[in-house]
Amino acid sequence: MPERFDLVIRAHAVHLPDGPAAAAIGVRDGRIAAIGAVDADWEADAAEALAPGVHLIPGIVDTHVHVNEPGRTDWEGFATATAAAAVGGVTTIIDMPLNSIPPTTTPDALTGKRAVAAPQAAVDVGFWGGAIPSSLGHLRELHDAGVFGFKAFLSPSGVDEFPHLSTEQLGAALAELADFGGLLIVHAEDPASLDDAAVDGGDYDAFVASRPDAAETTAIEHVIAALRDAPGARAHILHLSSAEALPAIRAAKTEGLALTVETCPHYLVFDAEHIADGATGFKCCPPIRSESNRDRLWAALADGTIDFVASDHSPATAELKFAGDGDFGVAWGGISGLQLAFTAVWTEAARRGFSLDDVLGWMSASTADFVGLADRGALRIGARADLVAYDPEQAWTVDVAQLRHRNPVSAYDGARLTGVATATWVGGRIAQRDGVVATERVGSLIARAAD
């Protein structure tokens, strides 16, 4: 009698750990229960046969997403953010502790986040905690409540309710976290370097100069020094923009320090030479730098100095993003790119000769491993059935009005991309098909694996 599953998907290119192959995936109780020949004699409650040219890939795990709800839901909320994720092939997001109000710096704030997220999630959602001056000495409570780690800024965050840590407080946070194996993720820009180069006006080069390479390199050197002084501590550099920091990062890794690094799609896709003056849709901190800098980031991603890529989806209203009528000193910073992150990186990666499996390694396997989600990030028996039907050759032009995040603002508006997630399953249940998000919200709330 044929084996029976809840769902069977057959495709001529299933991206297994050993590479793409014609195969069938059998799903039972939300997990991959079997992997067999494409014509395996299986029965299922629901069956899919992907069209030629459509690949079956593991869902993307995006570990850097600002959802902002509660408190700033007019910027973004869980309903819109997770819908955008699903349409973009992202099946898991980890939400940053700001810019929501209150920020996720206490167990009570985490409880509030979970309460608003649970009924709205189209994909799985986990949470980062925050390390701010007032929460130092109390980080274990939030760790035990299930956050994946703690975000800290070394320069002003832009919102008053999430103040930054001094260099001394950075060391104290790492020492505290080392006691129980916690992880610190760091917005690494040095405030003294920023103070030396204020900006106003619409000159993009002047804006980049206001967030110089030295701001990142100095702050990262502070993180590395603090790691040396806190045995057992772990730190992660968020949204690396400056390639000038790569030698120090390589040396720290060679030294054996527990340091990891991410970059973001906008640093890999855009460059300063092609950003017009007054184009504040491209404003982010740290900034998008030169084309040669971008090439060095790609090389560091290829050689493993940079561990992975995450979106840093950082949305705001159009009023904030374009405040000042082209003045980079006034406009809000941040790139809305959750729905586009994977396809944007794939488009540029393919142009540079990388494979789809390379990109999946940077945006699914490595990100899942980073946050300890051993049950996702690859198509293998026992893994969560977080699956994406993906057409890597379908070309299209981004129309910001058609994107699913809340506000129709994105630096990617008008970009020509290649690749479309034609269907997304979360735990074996359909989350979106052809851009239409399922009425039933199939996402779950997830927590850090117990110690």
What pLDDT, in 10s, does the model give residues 255-264?
999 999 999 9
Q: Please say if the pLDDT value at position 383 is more than 90.
A: yes
CA distances from residue 180 to 122, 175, 203, 232, 376 in whole angstroms, order as listed: 32, 10, 46, 9, 25
Q: What pLDDT shows up at residue 83? A: 98
Q: What pLDDT shows up at residue 67? A: 98
> Taking a C-beta distance cutoff of 8 angstroms, is the pair 21, 14 a contact?
yes
Q: Please say if the pLDDT value at position 200 is more than 90.
A: no
Q: Please say if the pLDDT value at position 361 is more than 60.
A: yes
Q: Please say if the pLDDT value at position 283 is more than 90.
A: yes
Q: What is the β-pairing status of strands 234-237 and 259-263?
A: parallel
Q: Please say if the pLDDT value at position 438 is more than 80.
A: yes
What percentage of the chain reaches a pLDDT higher than 90?
97
With a threshold of 0.95, does the pTM exceed it?
Answer: yes
Q: What pLDDT shows up at residue 196? A: 56
Q: How far, rounded to the nearest angstrom, does the alpha carbon of residue 397 sit from its chain's CA centroid?
A: 22
Q: Please say if the pLDDT value at position 71 is more than 90.
A: yes
Domains of the chain and any CATH numbers = 3-56+385-394+418-437 (2.30.40.10), 59-370 (3.20.20.140)
Among 336, 243, 236, smallest CA distance to 283 is for 336
Q: What pLDDT shows up at residue 451? A: 76
Q: Please say if the pLDDT value at position 323 is more than 80.
A: yes
Residue 421 has a CB neighbour count (10 Å cut-off) of: 28
What percentage of the chain reaches a pLDDT higher than 70?
99
Q: Please say if the pLDDT value at position 197 is more than 60.
A: no
pLDDT tens figures, 223-245: 999 999 999 999 999 999 999 99
* Backbone torsions φ then ψ of 272, nearest 5 degrees: -60, -30
Among 290, 312, 292, 278, smallest CA distance to 212 is for 290
Query: Cα(37)–Cα(41) distance, rounded to whole angstroms?
Result: 9
pLDDT tens figures, 143-157: 999 999 999 999 999
Give the burial class of 375: count Cβ atoms within 10 A of its Cβ; 0-12 exposed, 13-18 middle, 19 or more buried.
middle
Q: What pLDDT shows up at residue 450? A: 82
Q: What pLDDT shows up at residue 270? A: 98
Q: Please say if the pLDDT value at position 250 is more than 90.
A: yes
Q: Please say if the pLDDT value at position 195 is more than 70.
A: no
Average pLDDT across the chain, whole number? 97
pLDDT tens figures, 8-26: 999 999 999 999 999 999 9
What would the mean pLDDT of 104-108 be, rounded to a whole number?
Answer: 98
> Taking a C-beta distance cutoff of 8 angstroms, is the pair 7, 425 a contact?
yes
Name the helix (H) or strand (E) containing 206: helix 204-210
Give the burial class of 277: count Cβ atoms within 10 A of its Cβ; 0-12 exposed, 13-18 middle, 19 or more buried.
middle
